[in-house]
Amino acid sequence: MRRVLLPHVVADEPAPAGGVIRDFGGRSMGTSWSVRLVCAPEDPCVHLQQGLEQQLDAVVMEMSHWESDSDLGRFNRADAGSWRQLPPAFFDVLAFALDVAGESGGAYDPCAGALVNLWGFGPRGRFDQPDFVPPSAAQISAALASRPVLLEREGRRALQPGGVQLDLSAVAKGYSVDRLAYFLKTQGYAHCLVEVGGELRGAGVKPDGQPWWVALEQVADGADSDSAAPQPDELVLALHGLSVATSGDYRRYFELDGQRYSHTIDPRSGMPIANDLASVTVVHPQCMAADAWSTALTVLGCEHGLRLAEQQGLAVRFVVRRRDGGFTEHMSTHLRSMLAE
Strands (E) located in 9-123 = 20-28, 31-39, 82-85
Q: Tens-digit pLDDT profile for the chain (341 aa)?
A: 789 999 999 888 888 888 999 999 999 998 999 999 999 988 888 889 999 999 999 999 999 999 989 999 999 999 999 999 999 999 999 999 999 999 999 999 999 999 999 998 888 888 888 888 889 999 999 999 888 899 999 999 999 999 999 999 999 999 999 999 999 999 999 999 999 999 999 999 999 999 999 998 777 554 444 445 567 788 999 999 999 999 976 555 666 666 666 788 999 999 998 888 989 999 999 999 999 999 999 999 999 999 999 999 999 999 998 888 889 999 999 999 999 97
Angle between helix axes 169-186 and 88-103 (nearest 10 degrees) is 130
Would you call 107 exposed, middle or buried from its count of C-beta atoms within 10 A (0-12, 13-18, 19+)? buried
Instruction: Write down the pLDDT at residue 251.
Output: 56
Instruction: Write down the pLDDT at residue 259.
Output: 65
What is the C-alpha to C-alpha distance for residues 101 and 121, in angstroms, rounded to an integer?
20
- Torsion angles phi and psi, residue 99, rounded to 5: -65, -45
Answer whether 111's CB lies under 8 Å from 160's CB.
no
What is the C-alpha to C-alpha distance for residues 208 and 178, in angstroms, rounded to an integer?
24
Residue type, 119: W
Comparing CA positions, the residue from 138, 105, 68, 129 lying closest to residue 268 is 105
